[in-house]
Structure 1
Amino acid sequence: MKRRSFIQKTALSGGALTLGGAMANANAPARPKEKHAFNLKYAPHLGMFQNLAGKDPLDQLHFMADQGFTAYEDNGMAKREVTLQEKMAKTMTDRGLEMGVFVAHNIHWKEPNLASGDLDKRQEFLNEIKASVEVAKRTNATWMTVVPGHLDLRQNMGHQTAHVIESLKQASAILEPHNLVMVLEPLNFRNHPGLFLTESPQAYSICKAVDSPACKILFDIYHQQIQEGNLIPNMEACWDEIGYIQIGDNPGRKEPTTGEINYKNVFKFIYDKGFKGILGMEHGNSRPDKAGEQAVIDAYKEVDNFL
């Protein structure tokens, strides 16, 4: 998905000599003497630190853990080779990184699918959910992202909502036996015009209608700042159905401290609510190269300092 393509294109350069004169691995950054202890489970993604860590996915996971991050998210995990999924899962287990969301299905950005009530499109979605169960098992994942797709402009909104709820009920029946959770992501009108699911109250009412532990809300702070604002009260109103949170400042969809959102206050609210889940760092870096990557780490240390 284009909106989730944040990977920078530059490569790590250089190497270093050890004190004994032997050449160190040029792609292995020096590990910090002491990890930072974050208060919440912030989850970077591949590419966010590739200049500091190197391009190899496993090296990037090690780097995240070295910095003190305790989670990782990967929207594209389902499309990675099975052998790489397994290697990444082992590395995450070894380094204490909890797996966050991956995208569970092919999102229909321009045409209606779940909202249409078309049975073939519903079956396509359910087949993708079944396949995502296997991805989740391999990668020790609990959450997977679901976006119901485009509006059906030829149908009443009530009918569309009923179609979406029925599809999600059937998907929940697939996921429940495996203790897996699909998280519904409302998206903003500016970046993604014409989509069915846009606001947190809408997602809340759908989750209540589906009535399953396998169907919760993905509250993306960036999207909801644009779509509805009033972040903390809206999160409070939806709290019992929020299963996952994502981060991005606005404007720009970069790391916290680069835009208008007071992330220190938002994170304190989330912490005070006792949230034990993952907060996905679904944003780009505001500056390029190693300096920009270090700036992301420093920004999270700053806004996480709310106690």
Structure 2
Amino acid sequence: MIIDTDAGQLRFAANLKWMYTELSFEERFDAAATSGFTAVEFASPYALPADRIGELARDAGVRIALINTPAGPAGSDTVMGAGFVPAAGDEFRAGVTKALEYATALDVPVVHVMAGLRPEGVDADRAFAGYVANVAWAAEQAHGTGIRLVLEAINKRDQPRYGLASMEAAAAVAEAVDPDVVGVLFDVYHAQVDRGNLIERFESLRRHIGHVQIADNPGRGEPGTGEIAYERVLARIAASGYSGWIGCEYGPVAGTEAGLSWIERITR
């Protein structure tokens, strides 16, 4: 869904993990297209072969804006990614390889490299050094593919053990590794819970931002259901010249379709 505003253009992608959950995953592509979305994103395509995912997207007439690297099984140290787990180097590399294979096959421009949880008892400096080395390896694999890798920080209220502490830390890693290949996933919801100051932080990180995701706080519903001044935040994103997709990674408060009224109300 592409919206022209006075400030510039905004391109919204439906997140198929969070939206249209009353439907099966395969039905969500058509549902998003029917709502007017021209792109979708989702964390994990790996339950289906890449050619089947591609067929669903083509039939619906949408492109795929972002996928994540694979997560480990429930209850494992790598349930939110393997980047910060020193003993999971092989799993991390296999996951990055698989994600790049899917992204290449599906023409996905952005892959979120999940940092994951720092295991209990593992020294923080050791885990961080291993994470930076992992991201550097991933950047080498992505170099020349045209795929942008992005790093996301998850707020400490929702996930105290998540390895990547802040978007500023993500930007520092990207800068140290390869800023042409690695960038920041600016998640407005996590940034607000982390410490707010959204517009100033967006502007300070702008050159590193490779993808944006949105949800309101509290509740993680659609924009307009919480405290975030989305009229101003989205106007600033549009005016910044950011041309990437904005993933709607929120849980609709009263159903996906009914909740989409926020787009016209907030962006007009």
TM-score by length of 1: 0.76
Q: What one-letter code is carried by the residue in structure 2 that aligns with 1:88?
A: L
The yes-or-no answer on 1:229 pairing with 2:199 is no
For the residues of structure 1 that align with 2:2 and 2:209, how far apart are their CA atoms? 27
Q: What one-letter code is carried by the residue in structure 1 that aligns with 2:150?
A: V
For the residues of structure 2 that align with 1:238 and 1:187, how far apart are their CA atoms? 16
Residue number in structure 1 paired with 2:265: 302
For the residues of structure 2 that align with 1:45 and 1:133, how far apart are their CA atoms? 20
Residue number in structure 2 paired with 1:86: 54
For the residues of structure 1 that align with 2:159 and 2:47, how far apart are their CA atoms? 23
User: SS where residue 163 of structure 1 aligns?
Assistant: helix
For the residues of structure 2 that align with 1:106 and 1:50, how far apart are their CA atoms? 20
Q: Call closer, same or farther: CA 1:182–1:107 in 2, change over 3 Å.
A: farther
Q: Which runs of 5+ in 2 are unaligned?
A: none
1:124-146 deviation line (CA, Å, top 9, x unaligned): 21111111122112221011122
Residue number in structure 1 paired with 2:110: 143
User: SS where residue 205 of structure 1 aligns?
Assistant: helix
Q: 1:101 aligns with which of 60, 66, 72?
A: 66
Q: Is the 8 A contact 2:69 2:114 kept in 1?
A: no
For the residues of structure 2 that align with 1:194 and 1:234, how far apart are their CA atoms? 23
**Residues 1-307 of structure 1: pairs in structure 2 closer than 5 A:** 37=3, 39-46=9-16, 48-49=19-20, 55=24, 57=26, 60-91=28-59, 95=61, 97-106=62-71, 111=77, 113-118=82-87, 121-152=88-119, 154=121, 156-287=123-254, 292-305=255-268
Q: What one-letter code is carried by the residue in structure 2 that aligns with 1:72?
A: V
Larger radius of gyration: 1
1:143-179 deviation line (CA, Å, top 9, x unaligned): 1122211225645544433221111111111111211
Q: What one-letter code is carried by the residue in structure 2 that aligns with 1:234?
A: R
Higher relative contact order (CA 8 A, sep 6+): 2
Q: What one-letter code is carried by the residue in structure 1 that aligns with 2:104?
A: K
CA RMSD after TM alignment: 2.5
Task: Report the count of equivalent residues.
Answer: 259
User: SS where residue 37 of structure 2 aligns?
Assistant: coil
Shift of 1:195: 1.2
For the residues of structure 2 that align with 1:125 and 1:140, how far apart are their CA atoms? 22
Q: Is the 8 A contact 1:85 1:138 kept in 2?
A: no
Q: Is the 8 A contact 2:149 2:182 kept in 1?
A: yes
Q: Which runs of 5+ in 1 are unaligned?
A: 1-34
Q: Is the 8 A contact 2:85 2:116 kept in 1?
A: no
1:28-85 deviation line (CA, Å, top 9, x unaligned): xxxxxxx98454111113372466xx64735x43443343322211112122234421
For the residues of structure 2 that align with 1:230 and 1:110, how far apart are their CA atoms? 34
The answer to which structure has the higher strand fraction is: 2
Shift of 1:193: 1.5
Q: Call closer, same or farther: CA 1:294–1:282 in 2, change over 3 Å.
A: same
User: SS where residue 79 of structure 1 aligns?
Assistant: coil
